Structure 1
Amino acid sequence: MRAAYSYRNDPAVPEFDDAAPVAFMDGDCALCSFGARMIDRIDRRGDIRICPVATPLGQAILMHYGLRPDDPESWLFLEGGRAWRDFDAMARVGLRSGGWARGLGLLLLIPRPLRDWLYARIARNRYRMFGRADLCALASPRLRARLMR
């Protein structure tokens, strides 16, 4: 785990407004597009932004945290300078969003080896299982306002 806000000292990471949380996800995956729409629905504060991993910022942040942007396991949530990935990221989004979304925190009850294995299987097969969908093309105006480019 890296120190909070360590990306600020990484010259490869473009400067960006990190005052609000950011979810970094695949912009071409139907499952990720669904996840982005769910964030738009469950985020009671309305401040979580979404950055496709194909953007220069998305690629730089993922590489900073040791993830490959072209790797299907690349799902990262950044809040308060700290990063969560995979199911931990999804659980964090749910816990901070409140309401019924806190149920996503139950993902943390799954033992880490099983949780990581399950996430990897879904991520590696996501296009075959769920197809492709352009996050930006499917976005409502409200969701589009959350997107970082």
Structure 2
Amino acid sequence: MPVSSTAAQRKYSAELLYDRDCGFCVKSAHFLQRIDRRGRVRIVALQQAGATERFGVSRDQALEQAWALDSRGERHAGAGAVNAVLSGAIGTRLPLLIYRLPGIRQLQDRVYRWVADNRYRLPGRGGTCAIDGN
């Protein structure tokens, strides 16, 4: 049975909630924009009016870790959010599927937690950097 043109147009996409006051977060968001050649990832600063409400998280939750909403209506946090937006950027859900494998999830979650806990010490321009005015 052929895939309808409507179904073919519904590619996986995601929105990322990030901290624009974190240089490492800004640098990471810039990287996502560079690899997202089909415009499937939307980057949203948590400091933007209404952003945390859109993602269904508190400001404290948004400062604790990255959040993503995908085109399937799923909400992802931490390493899962990174994998969701990476999946959108490269046009395949493979990173998200690999993340869900036993052992891989735990390893990525640990690495993510270390990065999140140390993000203000990691390379990147600090201050109130913004991406395209977000």
The answer to whether TM tops 0.5 is: yes
Deviation track 1:42-91 (CA, whole Å, cap 9, x = no partner) reads 112114221111223222245x2477246332x11112222112111211
1:127 lines up with 2:117 in the alignment: no
- The alignment covers a number of residue pairs equal to 118
Q: Answer whether contact 1:76 1:86 (CA < 8 A) is retained.
A: yes
- What residue is the counterpart of 1:33 in the other structure? 26
- What residue is the counterpart of 1:23 in the other structure? 16
Deviation track 1:13-44 (CA, whole Å, cap 9, x = no partner) reads xxxxxxx7321000111111112111211112
Q: Answer whether contact 1:90 1:104 (CA < 8 A) is retained.
A: no
Unaligned ranges ≥5, structure 2: 1-12
Question: Where in structure 2 are the equivalents of 1:38-57 lying within 5 Å?
Answer: 38-57=31-50
Unaligned ranges ≥5, structure 1: 1-19
Question: Where in structure 2 are the equivalents of 1:1-149 lying within 5 Å?
Answer: 21-62=14-55, 64-65=56-57, 68-69=60-61, 71-73=63-65, 75-80=66-71, 81-98=73-90, 108=99, 110-130=103-123, 132-136=126-130, 139=131, 144=132, 148=134
- 1:96–1:24 Cα change, 3 Å: same
Q: Which has the larger radius of gyration?
A: 2
Identity within the alignment, %: 26
- 1:36–1:93 Cα change, 3 Å: same
- What residue is the counterpart of 1:3 in the other structure? none
- What residue is the counterpart of 1:14 in the other structure? none
Question: Structure 1 length as normaliser, TM-score?
Answer: 0.62
SS in 2 for 1:135: coil
Distance in 2, matches of 1:105 and 1:82, equals 12
Higher relative contact order (CA 8 A, sep 6+): 2
